[in-house]
A and B are shown apart, each in its own frame.
Chain A
Amino acid sequence: MRFRLNEQDVELKVSPMARLLDVLREDCGLTGTKEGCGEGECGACTVLVDGEAVCSCLIPVAQVEGTEVTTIEGLGAEHPLQRAFMDEVGAQCGICTPGMILTATTLGRRPSLAKIRQGLAGNLCRCTGYEAIYRAIHAAS
């Protein structure tokens, strides 16, 4: 099967029912995408499919055929959100951070605090208490 991954064409021989999360981490070697709960509650495994935030633990890989998938690696290392998360200490253990940042990229320009809070409702963080994350997104958007 084929799809675009971080702006590159990929062609893989994988089970169509394999989790997108596993294919990204194990077949594509992109371990920036993290597994948290594995049941769509925590958002740690968030990636973008055609620009929309989704839980990669809940997607059979067949469903991304022909789409554009973006993982945290696809943002490069100097995305303003990545810089702001460091400046504001929006990451502690770091497991939720890739998903937080990818979800934040879909919130548009200058989102209100209410929009940031609502937009991140599907991304759980057990370390920061969220305030530093909201500040980082506010600063970078």
Chain B
Amino acid sequence: MRTATSSLDLLQPRSLGEALRMLRDEGPLTPIAGATDLYVAVNFGTLGSSRFLNLWALDSLRAISLRDDSLRIGALATYTAMIRSRLVRRRLPMLVSAAREVGGMQIQNRGTLGGNVANASPAGDALPVLAVAEAVVVLRSAKEERRIPFGQFYTGYRASVRRPDELIVAFEIPPLDGAQWFRKVGTRAAQAISKVVMAAVRGPRPRIALGSVAPTVIRLPHIEEALAGGAAIEDAVRLLDQDIQPIDDVRSTAAYRRDVASNLLRRFWVDTESAS
């Protein structure tokens, strides 16, 4: 059945500069990249916006490269592009693991890293990876470029520091020491939204991030500090309630999420034992 999209406006810039000028002069506009999440809400009529900006043609935002020893991933890089990228496989294998578990092939072919971050769901699978990688979010407007540490990007549930006239253009990921680890727990591997998702690095100082256990993706500062100080994993796990605030919702319960998060922490620690 045809959905009610015929009355919606779509602006179609041919360059990043044109897109940024449209955001400045013709806003408010809702940017659309691979459309895999946002367009669902458009079709169900649950999204408030009626004017959109099509980013899909902006090929300059697809590049994956090394710049000053940082891995730079363009906002329009798809999950498939990240899975195929030798640079991502070598530098950030946990991002490849995350990308393989987003949706099925059809979603991986269209969904983008920039879209995952801009969409700002606390369940976004790539977000814990960016959090532990301490990525920098590169934002650009017609006026300026801003570089925001990922840990400061979200300000609350589905809220971020991105201004309406800004686009996410890239992510920069500095070199990372240590063993990388990723695990998503959902109803099934493909096509299911995470009940809990975790990325972690066992390096000089352990870094751990969880999705779906708080209004935004979060790092676990108390547990990281305990583990860095040499605490046993069972002692560190007891600190979990200081770091997470899971809720009951359609996908799971707070109690289940708490149990799974504890188990993921233990599993991470066992799996990366040889890297310590």
A53 lies within 8 A of B105 (CB): yes
A18 touching B6 in the complex, CB below 8 Å, given contacts A119-B105, A121-B189:
yes
Residue B191 interfacial (CB < 8 Å): yes
Tell me the nearest residue of chain A to B52, going by C-beta: A17
A121 lies within 8 A of B191 (CB): yes
Residue A63 interfacial (CB < 8 Å): yes
Residue B5 interfacial (CB < 8 Å): yes
Q: Give the chain B neighbours of A62 by CB distance below 8 A.
A: 10, 12, 54
| Contact stretch, chosen from A37-45, A88-96, A130-138 | A37-45
- Minimum CB–CB distance from A133 to chain B (whole Å) comes to 14
Residue B163 interfacial (CB < 8 Å): no
B8 lies within 8 A of A17 (CB): yes
Tally chain B residues at the interface, Cβ within 8 Å. Answer: 33
Partner of A15, one of B6, B104, B107: B6
| CA A53 to CA B57, docked complex, whole Å | 18
B106 lies within 8 A of A55 (CB): yes
In B47-80, the 8 Å CB interface with A consists of 52, 54, 56-57, 80
- Minimum CB–CB distance from A98 to chain B (whole Å) comes to 13
A52 lies within 8 A of B109 (CB): yes
Residue B186 interfacial (CB < 8 Å): no
Q: Give the chain B neighbours of A122 by CB distance below 8 A.
A: 103-107, 190-191
- Minimum CB–CB distance from B2 to chain A (whole Å) comes to 5
Residue B40 interfacial (CB < 8 Å): yes
A121 lies within 8 A of B104 (CB): yes
* Chain A residues with a Cβ under 8 A of chain B: 15-19, 22, 26, 35, 38-41, 43, 46, 52-55, 57-60, 62-63, 65, 103, 106, 118-124
* Chain B residues with a Cβ under 8 A of chain A: 1-3, 5-10, 12, 32, 35-36, 39-40, 42-44, 52, 54, 56-57, 80, 103-107, 109-110, 189-191
